[in-house]
Structure formats: C-alpha cells, structure tokens
Homo-oligomer: A and B are copies of this chain.
Amino acid sequence: MLQAERLAVKPFLQAVRFDAAGLVAAVVQDAATHEVLMVAWMNAESLRRTLELGETVFWSRSRQEYWHKGATSGHVQRVVDLRVDCDGDALLIRVEPAGPACHTGAVSCFYRGLALDGPQSDASQGDASQGNVPPIQSDQPHQAADADTRR
C-alpha cells in the first residue's frame, strides 16, 4: 500500500463530502490480503462511531439504521487504516476482519465475476478455476467524452 499524506481527525473529517442523502461510499479492504471485501455506506455519525470504536460501523440504507459490522456474527472489522479520496466522496477502510465479510459466508462480497473467456462470451457459466481473465476484445471504435479531469 502506498504511503499516504496523514491528516488529523478534524481536517480528515472536513475532507469527507457526504452526498445529498448524507452518505459516503466506504470500500473495505483486507489490510493483509488486500482483497476488496465489500462496499457499504456511512453517514457522519457512523463514521464517528467507527473512529470511536476502531471497528466498522455503517449506515444500512435498506434498514435505515446503524450497522456495527460483526455485532451479531462476531465478524467485526478492526480498522487499521482510513483513507479519503481526492474529492472526498469515497472512503477506503483497510481492516483486519475477524471473519467473512459477506452475509453469504463468502470472504468477500465480490464473489461473482464476469467470465471473460472470449469477446462477450455467452457460455452459461465460466470456469471458476481461472485466476486472471483475458481482457475483453472489441473491434468497434469507442465514442466517449474526451475529458479526464474530474468525475
């Protein structure tokens, strides 16, 4: 993991930009394996509780309540690093997880991938034994915005 510019709590919190619903996206990454485990949401209070507790506390959009990850399952996520992105609308939380991140029991919530064994393959199920997959090929020209500044 690259070195980060380190901010104190107050400037760090000031750098976070919550959206119109008061939320910021939080990417949770295993600090040891670097596996991306899950994406969840935080409001200002859940971020405050995360800092206070040293474990992830999210805001559940579906249940509309605070969600201390692992409170029932025991699979808490101990926070070892907290980052904010350049425009403040996403957090990266590196953790030591006490168990699987996903409610399905999977280590990561990202356990489903696209089978890229050919250009827009239509095989009903890909080969789960493959690690890296080849890039998607296309001979069609691409028309997209030619700007690469801010999102």
Contact = CB atoms under 8 A, between A and B. Distances in A.
Integer count of this chain's copies in the complex: 2
A116 interface: yes
Main secondary structure of the interface of A (DSSP, over half): loop
A71 to B, nearest CB: 5
B72 A148 contact: yes
A150 B62 contact: yes
A3 to B, nearest CB: 6
A4 to B, nearest CB: 3
A63 to B, nearest CB: 7
30 contacts: A1-B35, A3-B130, A5-B112, A5-B126, A6-B114, A6-B126, A6-B127, A7-B115, A8-B121, A8-B123, A8-B124, A8-B125, A9-B120, A9-B121, A9-B122, A11-B124, A12-B114, A34-B35, A39-B85, A52-B142, A54-B136, A63-B145, A68-B145, A70-B148, A75-B148, A82-B113, A83-B112, A84-B113, A92-B110, A103-B150
